[in-house]
Structure 1
Amino acid sequence: MTDSSLIALPDRLAVDPRSPHHVAAIFQQPIDIGVRFNGKERVDVEEYCVSEGWIKVPAGKTRDRKGRPLLITLKGSVEVFYQTA
């Protein structure tokens, strides 16, 4: 898949399909999204916002009353990219 056929990554994106910031077309592409937070790659990011500089990650194995992971917000430098093979 060429770079020109990839959908541009939005400023804010969520993994949860119930979120208004979920873009299903991005997750249907055969290439993965990478998130670099404060210079380190993270694989547990549930939601991010580049312009505001935060990510949301699960707080261990803690769940809310509906069974979804409890998320915490971390602030810092956020970079998103498509991972190459």
Structure 2
Amino acid sequence: MPKTLLSIDSTTITVGKTRLRWAIYHGERSGIKLHVSFTNETAMPLQVVETTGLKHDGPVRENLEDARFILVCDRAYFSIEKVDRYLQENNILSCV
């Protein structure tokens, strides 16, 4: 492969509502979400972005992307606009 893989995923850490008043999550809980890019080659995190637990994964993807790697992530980070832009920039015909 021309580049190594960069895996991206997130995990939500929840606590009682009074512990993180600025990060209300659901009901009586508060929470933060850690979005991590992980290099498979070095087995080390490359970057970590912290958000509140309710933040959707998709917009955070742009902060974790790195042109040196092939991005591997689940569908929560997927963007149709990103795929369309890639196809257009690389003159690839898409199947519609």
TM-score (norm 1): 0.24
Q: Which has the larger radius of gyration?
A: 2
TM-score (norm 2): 0.22
Q: Which is helix-richer, 1 or 2?
A: 2
